Amino acid sequence: MKTIPLNERIIFALDFSDPEEARRWVEKVDGKIRFFKVGLQLFLAGWWPVVDHIAGRGNKVMVDLKFFDIPETVRLAVRQMKDRDVTFVTIHGNEPIIEAAVKEKNDVKILAVTVLTSFDESDMREMGLAGSVEDLVHIRARKALALGCDGIVSSPLEAARLRSDFGSRFIIVTPGIRPGLNRDVEKDDQKRIATAKDAIINGADHVVIGRPISTSADPLSTIDLIQDEIRQGLALSRGLRGSTGG
């Protein structure tokens, strides 16, 4: 099991259109969380100064722009991450796109997005695809890892199979996390969801969480709750590994 500080297990999704609001959130949760996701919305609103502000406070940054374009464009886009203190960058594409990104990655870690968590079997059928989402995630993850990606992004529901089949040496980042999950929980646009505890048990290294924290009446207590779930998941994972001699 990787040695990852508890305050880096949660990647807080700064899904805001106002860079100043994003900065306030970074300062609000500073210390409790030391890993932040800058997605398309915030990056377009604040550009590199937002990323630099987060990194400048000693935090890690996941730039989640899901690069998908012709290989040369993707290669040059990944080059822009150099010397920016970016830890993870996401891509979403076929073999030539992955190869181009990996070729240019330098110190940044490349994560391949397998299947978006807003996507389920009904969407596959509409696209004329057979099989299950889990199978599609597995196929794409196997290809991405073989081509040199450092890790993958998948829902927590597929993480167990990926970890079992491909081992422990790559990174799994899971969005679609809901604290204290029950059947009536608001899913937003996510369809394949789980608790942080289940994600960690299934093999996730990091969980991406945004709205459950940012819309909470008590965000810091919500973070404590999620981190407690992560602790439980880590303890159970260690127990399972011990019982199987792993």
The pLDDT tens digits of the residues spanning 125-152 come to 777 776 788 888 899 999 999 999 999 9
* Domain assignments of the chain as residue spans, ordered by start: 6-243
- The predicted pLDDT at position 135 comes to 84
The whole-angstrom distance between residue 19's C-alpha and the CA centroid of its chain comes to: 21
pTM of the entire predicted model: 0.87
User: Does residue 173 sit in helix, strand or coil?
Assistant: strand
Closest by CA to 38, choosing from 101, 94, 87, is: 87
Q: How far apart are CA 56 and CA 40, in angstroms?
A: 20
Residue tagged active-site, from 2, 32, 60, 66: 66
- Segment-wise mean pLDDT, segments of 10 residues, the chain, 246 residues: 89 95 95 95 93 95 95 95 92 93 93 79 72 84 95 90 92 86 45 80 94 93 94 83 51
| CATH number attached to the domain at 6-243 | 3.20.20.70
Q: Is 66 one of the annotated active-site residues of the chain? A: yes
Q: What mean pLDDT value characterizes the chain?
A: 87
* Span 16-55, pLDDT tens digits: 999 999 999 999 998 899 999 999 999 999 899 999 999 9
